[in-house]
Amino acid sequence: MPELPEVETVRAGLEPVLRGRCFVRVEQRRRDLRFPLPERFAERLTGRRVTRLGRRAKYILVHLDRGEVLAMHLGMTGRFIVSKPGVADGCTLGEFESEHGKDAKHDHLVFTMSGGAVVTYNDARRFGYMTLIPERALEQDAFFAGLGVEPLGDELTAAYLAKRALGKKVDLKAFLMDQRIIAGLGNIYVCEALFRAGLDPGKPAARLATKTGKPVPSAERLAAQIKAVLADAIRAGGSTLRDYKQADGSIGRFQNELSVYGREGGSCVKPGCRGSVRRKTQGGRSTFYCAVCQR
DNA sequence: AAGAACTCCTGTTGGC
DNA sequence: TGCCAACAGGAGTTCT
């Protein structure tokens, strides 16, 4: 379940093996992931040099010479395994195979880079996707055109939340999950941010704003806590719950710091609160919250 | 047109 | 132990 902190961690892990390197060989084992891969995908990548790596929402952007960008979304279970021939990923060959061999059938793409690194994209559920987009048309691309603001950027403010929430009947959970409003949040960090802000996930989004669209205090808390929880998670290398791993195979540490997500029945961690963590379903997804201190 | 429901996919988990 | 339903969920598509 890679969300922004996990995607950012993977991006940072790929940077040293991709940046400045060329795609020497591209092995494409399937015609499609979630969507069909681009026409002549391997051919168009081969020989291209990576100029830099970026991120937009939950997409890793690999900028290439000659003006194209390889945009990659990890979906639910997408991950990269970095290895070098004969080195086997910094662990013994046995460790590498026992770790990775069992689901090698889900290795869909294998990139061999100049410098010798082999980067394998593995995705059991194939909710991930990749596409090649002309750099100058990135913002107009169908995947990117409708995306909302970056939560860690200056554009996410209480005023922005209030403006977008004005008149919205959806609950706060759905509002924050909507990539057209804020790009990069998913179930885990929406639950965590609402907990930290002390807000009920079932409350209508419109309550973030006054009748004239000005932010109320809870909008201030929410904007601040979204940024705080994402920054904390990036610092910890993301959360590893089921499938996510960093590019070097290590797991994240933030799952140990989650306040509500996955803690159904546990006691509320807020000092002085006697509540316990509950779970309910919103929009077909589990929401974890404390009914006592989230109002 | 907003908002809810449905869909894709497969490994893991829990109940019997 | 085996079998099977339920579950995980990002986000595009389809519906109401």
Decide: CB of A127 under 7 A of nucleic strand C: yes
Query: Does the structure show a pLDDT above 80 at A69?
Result: yes
- Residues of chain A with pLDDT > 70, as a percent, come to 90
> What is the nearest nucleotide to A179, using C1' and CA?
C11
The band of A243, judged by pLDDT with boundaries at 50, 70 and 90, is low
Decide: CB of A263 under 7 A of nucleic strand C. no
Per the annotation, the verdict on A217 as an active-site residue is no
Q: Which is nearest to A25 in space by CA: A119, A102, A94?
A: A119
Per-residue confidence at A164, pLDDT binned at 50, 70, 90? very high
- pLDDT on residue A242: 58
End-to-end CA distance of chain A: 27
Q: What is the pTM of this model?
A: 0.92
Catalytic residue flag (residue A139) = no
Smallest Cα–C1' distance to nucleotide B11: which residue has it?
A124
**Strand B closer than 7 A to residue A165 Cβ:** no
- Give residue A93's pLDDT: 36
Q: What is the mean pLDDT of chain A?
A: 88
- Nucleotide minimizing C1' to CA distance for residue A3: C10
pLDDT tens column, A111-138: 999 989 999 999 988 999 999 999 999 9
CB atoms within 10 A of CB A12: 16
pLDDT in tens, A264-279: 889 999 999 999 999 8
The residues near A211 (Cβ < 8 Å, ≥ 6 apart) are none
- Return the residue matching tokens 């929009």: A283
**Is residue A287 over pLDDT 80?**
yes
Arithmetic mean of pLDDT, A233-237: 90
Per-residue pLDDT tens digits for A78-105: 999 888 764 444 433 333 443 455 578 8
| Contact flag, residue A235 CB and nucleic strand C, below 7 A | no
Q: Is the pLDDT of residue A27 over 60?
A: yes
- The residue from A58, A79, A196, A263 that is catalytic is A58
Average pLDDT on A59-75 reads 95
Is the predicted pLDDT of residue A250 greater than 90, yes or no? no
CA of A274 and C1' of B7: distance in angstroms?
40
Active site residue A3: yes
Q: What does the pLDDT read at residue A230? A: 94
Q: What is the 3-state secondary structure (H, E, C) of A93-160?
A: HHHHHHHHHHHHHHEEEEEEECCCCEEEEECCCCCCEEEEEEHHHHHHCCCCCCCCECCCCCCCCHHH
Q: Which domains does chain A have, with CATH numbers?
A: 4-140 (3.20.190.10), 158-290 (1.10.8.50)
Q: Work out if A125's Cβ lies within 7 angstroms of strand C.
A: yes
